[in-house]
A and B are shown apart, each in its own frame.
Chain A
Amino acid sequence: MVDTRPFLPVSSSDGSNPSEPLANGRKPMKALLSIFFGLLAVGLLAALLTSNNGSDFVTENEHDPLASSTTTTKSEPLRPLSRGPAAGVSEKSNRLFADENTVAFPWNNSMLSWQRTAFHFQPERNWMNDPNGPLFYKGWYHFFYQYNPHAPVWGDIVWGHAVSKDLIHWLHLPLAMVADHTYDKSGVWTGSATFLPDGKIVMLYTGSNAQAVQVQNLAYPADHSDPLLINWIKYSGNPVLVPPPGILSKDFRDPTTAWLTSEGKWRFAIGSKVNKTGVALVYDTKDFINYEKLDGFLRAVDGTGMWECVDFFPVSKTGENGLDTSVNTPDVKHVMKVSLDDDRHDYYTVGTYHEKNVTFVPDDLTIDVGIGLRYDYGVYYAAKTFYDQNKNRRVLWGWIGESDSEAADLQKGWASVQSIPRTVLLDKKTGTHLLQWPVQEIDSLRLNSYEFNHVSIQAGSVVPLEVGPATQLDIIAEFKIEKEALEKATGSNVTFSCSSSGGAKERGALGPFGLLVLADDSLSEQTPVYFYIAKGSDGNLKTFFCNDQSRSSVASDVNKQIYGSMVPVLKGENLSLRVLVDHSIIESFAHGGRTVITSRVYPTRAIYGAAKLFLFNNATEAGVSASLKIWQMNSAFIRPYPNLDNKSR
Chain B
Amino acid sequence: MADCGEANGPERKNEIVRAKNEEKELTKEEKQRLRKEKKQQKKQKEKKDDKGSSEKSGREKTLDPLSASQVLSTQSPTQKVPASAPIPVPPSGAPSHSSGAPSHSSSGAPSPADKPAKSKAELKAERRARQEADRASKQQGSSSSSKTKAPASDLNPVVKRLPEHVQVDDPAVVKRLAKKLERQQIPLRSDYGYKVSLFSHLHQYSRKAPLTQLLSIPSSVIHPSIVRLGLQYSQGIVTGSNARSVALLHAFKQVIMDYSTPPNEELSRDLVNKLKPYISFLNQCRPLSASMGNAIKYIKKEISNIPSQYKEEEAKTKLLECIDKYIDEKVVLAAKAISKYAIEKISDGDVILVYGCSSLVNHILCEAFDKNRKFRVIVVDSRPRLEGREALRRLVQIGISCTYVLISALSYVLPEVSKVFLGAHALLANGYVMSRVGTSQIALVARAFNVPVLVCCETYKFCERVQTDSFVSNELDDPDELMVTRKGKTQLEDWHDLSTLGLLNLVYDVTPPDFVDLVITDLGMIPCTSVPVVLRVKNVDQ
Whether chain B is bound by chain A comes out as no
**Interfacial residues, chain A to chain B (CB-CB below 8 A):** none
**Interfacial residues, chain B to chain A (CB-CB below 8 A):** none
